[in-house]
């Protein structure tokens, strides 16, 4: 019984293999490649591709594959061949890390000359000892069988051909039978490069029909001596996508920053996101918002879409876990010299840490610095919250990153599972010790700004201002943090009244109308209060901050606390035996630190893993003086 052939059939009608003992070529999708415009059939090379349950991307002897010993143009006996064609291993589908972890480096070397085929039509596996024996046992000239598990990433079958003579052997004709495709196949595309441009043809419909569901495609340009067939078996259909914050991938009554969670057959935006009310998505490209070309979406890019009550929940397509310069290429632009450039990117079909992001050279230029990108943060857009820094990329969501050099994006999810990946526990707290100013409006939009004394805030820049109507709050220099000075705050997509909340700040603040000079309100250092703006024609306000002489204080660096630790910052104006305590809502002490400390600012971390969500009071007692700060824990 033959168990080691691909599921694709060599004849229409899905006839079981064992009834075709007279077949001259083993089962699979047959590709016939013939030079001289298809006239020299005596030079035709027959290649077999297909899919099977246990097959891999490498050499699988179980499926009749073996590594060719001699280069293209010479057969297995090292004899010269006038015209030759065979499958090669396309290593670009592997991440560098995946390549490094393959069992042996020599396994990669074994296929540097392409794949051979030693499967006879009756299932016998043997490599003929001589040419006469080979001719008596017909087989294909090259064989490449891959996994047929539905939902896996697309397979790339790479074919190269060459002619040994000096005369012009073009055009070269490729012939195939569409009946032989797996009926579960999502896509099967012929791809090749012509004059530096990628050409794509759907092999189900875009060849020249020659009858009986057979097609041909003719390569007329002598520069084309290789092509790829991208073959996707099956597709996933998912409805359970969540974002970094545990919310659904798409929120109703809001703008959403999204990407393709799967690679669909039809990439027109109305097919993928039919319930969006925007007439076209917004794509950020080379420092400007614009619609995608022809309305077609691409894996690896981010798009803004608006929804009402009815949202999209179900997505269909092929799973993909790698983006590179050759697989869903995404070019990142650095913008004006010395300033860096923001780019909207999409995620993979599986969750990855931002540590799985890297870059590849673009146009032989210098490589972007990944540490520069991380220093500027990876940003999601959260409806009703604006831009929020994150530590992971989630399927279906989009993000902004900043690069200092033009480069290709590389996202590597090949070493992680399809549903989760170990992620960093917390983000670096960039605003420890800063005053937090919370801006909230009548539509429950909320954003946080920060201020500090004599701090370099160059790396506290927000991504580009989102399209009009979308909620956003930032300082006029596009930062989310500023120094103690007079700063202009711009607001977009807000509903009045607007509330400006200060929680135990270290500076004295005034909130001022930038046009009339009207003072909306003032807050003294150490106070927890808010200022109300009922209306501002300019949708902006001046934040005037003056450093306070107050040196005795206590605050929580990130409040509310959403992780397992609370970072408490406090200052004392003299050496003291201090007591720092946390009390729950009914006055029970749940944590305490007693120390003798010197004058100055100090930081302590409390483990709040076992504390339930709720309101807590932090009390700092030193030299007989008391300071209190209200802390909220959210889980």
Share of the chain above pLDDT 90, in %: 53
In order, the DSSP letters of 229-280 are: EEEEE--EEE---B-TTSSBSS-TTEEEEE--SSB-S--BHHHHSTT--SSS
Mind listing the domains of the chain with CATH numbers? Answer: 17-233 (no CATH), 254-412 (no CATH), 435-547 (no CATH), 553-633 (2.60.40.1930)
Q: Rounded mean pLDDT of 584-610?
A: 93
Specify whether the CB–CB gap between 82 and 164 falls below 8 A: yes
Statement: residue 3 has pLDDT above 60: no
Residue 123: partners with Cβ closer than 8 Å, 6 or more residues away: 2, 4, 5, 26
- pLDDT for the residue 506: 84
Helix H or strand E encompassing 131: helix 131-136
159 HSE (CA, 13 A, CB side): 27
- pLDDT for the residue 423: 52
Helix H or strand E encompassing 105: helix 105-109
What is the C-alpha separation between 439 and 94, in angstroms, rounded?
46
For 98-135, how does the pLDDT look when each residue is reduced to its tens digit (9 = 90+)? 556 655 544 555 578 999 887 654 444 455 555 555 55
Statement: residue 630 has pLDDT above 90: no
Find the range with the poorest average confidence among 115-129, 154-168, 460-474, 511-525: 115-129
Question: Exposed/middle/buried for 557, CB within 10 Å: 0-12, 13-18, 19+?
Answer: middle
Distances (CA, A) of 190 to 203, 229, 370, 396, 498: 6, 5, 34, 27, 56
CB atoms within 10 A of CB 199: 12
Residue 426: pLDDT band by 50, 70, 90 thresholds? Answer: low
For 223-251, how does the pLDDT look when each residue is reduced to its tens digit (9 = 90+)? 999 999 988 776 666 778 999 999 999 99
What is the C-alpha separation between 154 and 57, in angstroms, rounded?
11
Helix H or strand E encompassing 107: helix 105-109
What is the C-alpha separation between 578 and 540, in angstroms, rounded?
42
Statement: residue 494 has pLDDT above 50: yes
- pLDDT for the residue 509: 95
- pLDDT for the residue 257: 97
- pLDDT for the residue 77: 84
What is the C-alpha separation between 475 and 450, in angstroms, rounded?
10
End-to-end CA distance of the chain: 58
Statement: residue 440 has pLDDT above 90: yes
Statement: residue 162 has pLDDT above 70: yes
Q: Rounded mean pLDDT of 307-336?
A: 89
For 71-89, how does the pLDDT look when each residue is reduced to its tens digit (9 = 90+)? 999 988 888 999 999 999 8
Residue 360: pLDDT band by 50, 70, 90 thresholds? Answer: very high
Residue 589: partners with Cβ closer than 8 Å, 6 or more residues away: 581, 582, 583
Mean of all residue pLDDT scores within the chain = 85
More confident residue, 139 or 594: 594
Residue 19: pLDDT band by 50, 70, 90 thresholds? Answer: very low
**Among 474, 619, 618, 443, residue whose Cα is nearest residue 539:** 474
- pLDDT for the residue 455: 84
Statement: residue 388 has pLDDT above 90: yes
For 260-307, how does the pLDDT look when each residue is reduced to its tens digit (9 = 90+)? 999 887 788 998 999 999 989 999 988 889 999 888 999 999 999 999
- pLDDT for the residue 21: 34
Residue 284: partners with Cβ closer than 8 Å, 6 or more residues away: 302, 342, 343, 344, 400, 464
Q: Rounded mean pLDDT of 380-384?
A: 95
- pLDDT for the residue 56: 81
- pLDDT for the residue 523: 92
Share of the chain above pLDDT 70, in %: 85
Residue 557: pLDDT band by 50, 70, 90 thresholds? Answer: confident
- pLDDT for the residue 20: 35
**Among 125, 126, 9, 117, residue whose Cα is nearest residue 66:** 117
Statement: residue 322 has pLDDT above 60: yes
Distances (CA, A) of 31 to 83, 226, 386: 15, 14, 52
What is the C-alpha separation between 120 and 116, in angstroms, rounded?
12
- pLDDT for the residue 165: 84
Task: Return the percent helix, strand and coil in the chain, to nearest 5.
Answer: 10, 45, 50
The residues with which 488 forms a beta bridge, in sequence order, are 542
- pLDDT for the residue 277: 95
Specify whether the CB–CB gap between 211 and 173 falls below 8 A: no
- pLDDT for the residue 417: 47
- Pick left, alpha or beta for residue 274 (phi over 0 → left; psi -120 to 50 → alpha; otherwise beta): alpha
- pLDDT for the residue 619: 94
């Amino acid at each position: 019984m033959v168990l080691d052939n691909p599921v694709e059939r060599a004849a229409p009608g899905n006839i079981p293999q064992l009834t075709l003992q007279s077949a001259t070529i083993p089962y699979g999708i047959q590709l016939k490649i013939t030079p001289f415009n298809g006239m020299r059939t005596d030079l035709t090379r027959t290649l077999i591709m297909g899919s099977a349950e246990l097959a891999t991307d490498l050499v699988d002897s179980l499926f009749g594959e073996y590594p060719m010993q001699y280069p293209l143009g010479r057969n297995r006996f090292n004899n010269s061949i006038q015209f030759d064609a065979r499958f090669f291993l396309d290593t670009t589908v592997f991440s560098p890390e995946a390549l490094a972890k393959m069992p042996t480096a020599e396994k990669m070397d074994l296929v540097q000359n392409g794949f051979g085929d030693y499967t006879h039509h009756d299932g016998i596996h043997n490599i003929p000892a001589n040419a006469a024996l080979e001719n008596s046992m017909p087989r294909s000239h090259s064989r490449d069988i891959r996994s047929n598990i539905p939902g896996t990433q697309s397979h790339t079958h790479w074919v190269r051909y060459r002619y040994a003579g000096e005369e012009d052997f073009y055009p070269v004709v490729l012939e195939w039978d569409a009946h032989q495709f797996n009926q579960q196949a999502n896509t099967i595309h012929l791809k090749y490069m012509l004059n530096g441009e990628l050409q794509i043809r759907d092999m189900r419909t875009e060849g020249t029909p020659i009858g009986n569901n057979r097609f041909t495609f003719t390569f007329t340009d002598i520069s084309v001596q290789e092509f790829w067939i991208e073959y996707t078996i099956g597709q996933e259909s998912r409805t359970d996508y969540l974002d970094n914050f545990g919310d659904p991938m798409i929120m109703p009554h809001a703008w959403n920053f999204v990407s393709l969670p799967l690679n669909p057959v039809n990439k027109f935006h109305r097919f993928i996101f039919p319930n969006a009310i925007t007439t076209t998505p917004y794509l950020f490209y080379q420092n400007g918002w614009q619609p995608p070309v022809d309305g077609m979406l691409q894996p690896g890019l981010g798009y803004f879409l608006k929804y009402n009550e009815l949202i999209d929940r179900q997505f269909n397509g092929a799973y993909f876990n790698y983006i590179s310069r050759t697989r869903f290429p995404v070019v990142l632009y650095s913008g004006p010299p010395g300033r860096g450039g923001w780019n909207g990117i999409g995620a993979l079909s599986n969750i990855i840490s931002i540590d799985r992001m890297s870059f590849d050279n673009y146009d032989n230029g210098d490589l972007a610095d990944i540490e520069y990108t991380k220093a500027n943060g990876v940003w999601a857009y959260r409806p009703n919250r604006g831009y929020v820094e994150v530590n992971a990329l989630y399927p279906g969501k989009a993000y902004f990153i900043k690069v200092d050099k033009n480069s290709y994006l590389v996202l590597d999810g090949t070493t992680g599972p399809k549903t989760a990946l170990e992620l960093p526990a917390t983000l670096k707290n960039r605003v420890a010790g800063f005053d937090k100013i919370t801006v909230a409006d009548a539509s429950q939009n909320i954003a946080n700004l920060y201020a500090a004394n004599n701090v370099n805030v160059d790396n506290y820049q927000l991504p580009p201002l989102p399209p009009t109507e979308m909620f956003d709050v930032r300082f006029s220099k596009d930062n989310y943090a500023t120094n103690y000075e007079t700063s202009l705050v711009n607001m977009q997509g807000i509903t009045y009244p607007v509330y400006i909340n200060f929680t135990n700040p270290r500076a004295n603040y005034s909130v001022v109308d930038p046009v009339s000079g009207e003072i909306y309100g003032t807050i003294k250092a150490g106070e927890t209060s808010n200022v109300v703006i009922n209306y501002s024609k300019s949708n902006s306000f001046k934040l005037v901050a003056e450093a306070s002489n107050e040196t005795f204080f206590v605050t929580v660096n990130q409040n509310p606390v959403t992780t397992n630790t609370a970072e408490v910052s406090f200052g004392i104006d003299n050496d003291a035996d201090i007591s720092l305590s946390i009390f729950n809502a009914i006055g029970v002490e749940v944590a305490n630190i007693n120390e003798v400390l010197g004058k100055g600012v100090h930081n302590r971390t409390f483990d709040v893993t076992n504390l339930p969500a709720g309101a807590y009071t932090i009390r700092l007692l030193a030299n007989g003086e008391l300071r209190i700060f209200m802390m909220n824990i959210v889980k």
